Chain A
Amino acid sequence: MNPYVLSILLMGLGLGTTVTFASSHWLLAWMGLEMNTLAILPLMAQHHHPRAVEAATKYFLIQSAAAATILFASSTNAWLSGQWDIQHITHPLPTVMITIALSLKLGLAPLHAWLPEVVQGLDLTTGLVLSTWQKLAPFALLLQISPEIPLLITSLGLISMLAGGWGGLNHTQLRKVLAYSSVAHLGWMMVVMQFSTSLTALALLMYVIMTTSAFLTFKLLKSTDMNSLAMSWAKTPSVTALAPMMLLSLGGLPPLSGFLPKWLIIQELTKQELGLVATVAALSALLSLFFYLRVCYCLTFTSSPNNLAGVAPWRLESKQISLPLATSTSLSILLLPISPAILSLTLPLF
């Protein structure tokens, strides 16, 4: 893509999220969300492949529907309460509508059906932006809304965890697996939102780090399905050694970083006397862990002299900058021992 156009689009993406972060008026927040949507559309369709254009169209339709609902809900709130402040949305009707609209924007179950198809149609970089950056702005709004109906938030969270785990079980396309993993992680974030917004923010931060690592790993290995992962030991043995750690961290296994948000969320749920919710959440993490383990298996336990699943690739030197991958992989593996420091940094902020 033309570098000027690319920089304008990336600046638009950054500006949109920043505007939403900085806004206290619903219309300004909506404007930020719209800027995000419109800026990412050319990035999605840049390769003009029919599937990329399909993904961009589906994304546009979904996000527009959600944005229209947000506009309607905020207008309803302005009509009922006379003000447009984000934090003072108290009437249950607009609160529920906005929660559902933001769930559609994020891809929370039961409004998650678009996410795997859209991510599958994109290249890995744009998929990374969609799975990480595009989640920040809607979450910023969700964190500011006081939950009028706790049952809604908890059910959205639980259903997302189960749908994300169950749905990702049988896919061999890595992008779809990461999309379902995204749905499951969003469920974890939602379920604790009404009790501790800082834990939601921590879970979001950890999710962004781990997903960045995952997408960049697959981009380096140039693999979009599980069979092509089998050749990764020949391409980059070091990444092949660390990638299972990163995937198990996504699955929430101790002593890796991904365990931190899950542990704290279960602790908080137990403190709030929601033992059943905590149990269901922990069990649904097993479903997600299964498909992460499957990806690990394809990555590492398929070396010679077995028949290789992947086709021998061209041994071209990768032009990918290694710093983001190195940083995100290190962070997604090694952060658990310094969890008190992380908590002291994030808890006061939110």
Chain B
Amino acid sequence: MSLPKMTRLLSRRPLVSIQQQQLPPSTLVPGRTLIQSEYRRPGKPRDNEPPWQKIKFDLSKGLEGVKKHFTLLKNELTGRWVGPEGKPIIEHMLEQNRVVWEFRGPESLQQWTLSSDREIGGQSEIYMELGRNSTTCLLYGTLCSTPPRDGETRYSGYCTARSKQPLASFDRKKHHDWSSFNCLHLRIRGDGRPWMVNIATETYFSHQKDDIYNYFMYTRGGPYWQDVKASGIIPFSKFFLTHRGRIQDDQHPLWLDKINTIGFTLGDNADGPFQLEIDFIGVCKDYAHTEEFAYEKYKRNPEV
């Protein structure tokens, strides 16, 4: 029995002509491998451009960036002579209230990132706009707790707004230092929905990346602004530690010297539109509040 003939795998054309063949660009690099390393938000079109084609050389923008970063660096160095965080020590000591975020112009909205369960395929929406007279920020949208039809998600329906990480010169991470204060002061006007305030601190290990301190903020609706004890002023001692939404057994008090971001989340399982108007977010020192941490740790394996 004779062996079957092996078909020739290579063409008879010489090597040189193979190199001269012009292959169409779409077959050179498959589109999927380019974007597998980066997260693509649902709704955004797939980006098949290779990274070297995305660089935009623009002299004026470059000069602006150089000016901005060197100015920030200069302020950091000269602020050091004045005192901590660029303020004299007497001001630091006497400070009882500090407004950290207030919404007075469109640039203040750039400090916030919005997100909802649309990222996992849900149908909630959240938008942020400046309120009337550009003095407040309005968070509004629709909550929809229909889970996405991916076969594995059972619950859904959340909307969140989170502040961006403050950056020093040359895009280095900076932290908020709220160690002189002990309460979070929010002036808000809601529609009766319960929100959750999330504070993220600086962490070290990669598994602590999603460690967030949470507490509830109950809005009361109505035309009046709310910044009273019950819901507008939240002591930092009340915040409890969660990781990816799960409350941890091992609770620790919130350390205020390295705060990265603050956020608001709505996930109250009530479908429909929502609105939250925020006048300012500040921190204050309540002299009467002496509690250090509101939660006790119970023994996880008690002796029986």
Q: Which residues of A contact B (CB under 8 A)?
A: 48-51, 53-54, 57-58, 120, 169-173, 225-227, 230, 294, 297-298, 302, 306-309, 311-314
Are A225 and B89 in contact, CB atoms less than 8 angstroms apart?
no
**Contact partners of A302 in chain B: CB under 8 A:** 93
The smallest beta-carbon distance between A79 and chain B, in angstroms, is: 38
Find residues 2-21 in chain B having any chain A CB closer than 8 Å to their own CB.
Answer: none
| A172-B84, A311-B287, A311-B290 known; A225+B179 contact, CB < 8 A | yes
Instruction: Find A314's partner among B179, B201, B252, B290 (CB 8 Å cutoff).
Output: B290
Closest to A224 in B: B179
Instruction: Find B252's partner among A48, A230, A297 (CB 8 Å cutoff).
Output: A48
Q: With the chains together, A312 CA to B208 CA distance in Å?
A: 33
Instruction: Find B290's partner among A50, A298, A312 (CB 8 Å cutoff).
Output: A312
Q: With the chains together, A340 CA to B238 CA distance in Å?
A: 56
| A169-B80, A172-B92, A311-B287 known; A50+B252 contact, CB < 8 A | yes
Q: Which 10 A-B pairs have the closest CB atoms?
A: A54-B204, A309-B93, A49-B252, A170-B84, A227-B180, A172-B84, A225-B179, A170-B80, A311-B287, A307-B94
Instruction: Find A312's partner among B89, B179, B205, B287 (CB 8 Å cutoff).
Output: B287
Are A172 and B179 in contact, CB atoms less than 8 angstroms apart?
yes
The smallest beta-carbon distance between B235 and chain A, in angstroms, is: 11
Closest to B90 in A: A297
- Is B162 an interface residue when CB atoms closer than 8 A count as contact? no
Q: With the chains together, A236 CA to B165 CA distance in Å?
A: 40
Are A297 and B287 in contact, CB atoms less than 8 angstroms apart?
no
| A50-B204, A298-B89 known; A311+B84 contact, CB < 8 A | no
Are A311 and B285 in contact, CB atoms less than 8 angstroms apart?
yes
- Is B96 an interface residue when CB atoms closer than 8 A count as contact? yes
The smallest beta-carbon distance between B92 and chain A, in angstroms, is: 6
**Contact partners of B287 in chain A: CB under 8 A:** 308, 311-312
**Contact partners of B50 in chain A: CB under 8 A:** none
Are A57 and B204 in contact, CB atoms less than 8 angstroms apart?
yes
The smallest beta-carbon distance between A192 and chain B, in angstroms, is: 29
**Contact partners of B201 in chain A: CB under 8 A:** 50
Q: With the chains together, A142 CA to B257 CA distance in Å?
A: 36
- Is B255 an interface residue when CB atoms closer than 8 A count as contact? yes
Are A309 and B290 in contact, CB atoms less than 8 angstroms apart?
no
Instruction: Find B180's partner among A58, A294, A309, A314 (CB 8 Å cutoff).
Output: A309
Q: With the chains together, A57 CA to B204 CA distance in Å?
A: 9
**Contact partners of B166 in chain A: CB under 8 A:** none
- Is B268 an interface residue when CB atoms closer than 8 A count as contact? no
Q: For the A-B complex with A48-B250, A169-B80 known, give 16 more contacts whose Cβ atoms are closer than 8 Å.
A: A49-B252, A53-B205, A54-B204, A57-B205, A120-B257, A171-B84, A172-B92, A172-B177, A172-B179, A226-B92, A227-B92, A227-B180, A307-B94, A309-B93, A309-B180, A311-B286
The smallest beta-carbon distance between A118 and chain B, in angstroms, is: 11
Are A311 and B93 in contact, CB atoms less than 8 angstroms apart?
no
Q: With the chains together, A297 CA to B92 CA distance in Å?
A: 13
Find residues 79-96 in chain B having any chain A CB closer than 8 Å to their own CB.
Answer: 80, 83-85, 89, 92-94, 96
A/B interface sample: 9 pairs, CB < 8 A = A49-B255, A54-B203, A57-B205, A172-B180, A173-B179, A297-B89, A307-B94, A309-B93, A314-B290
The smallest beta-carbon distance between B222 and chain A, in angstroms, is: 32
**Contact partners of A294 in chain B: CB under 8 A:** 89
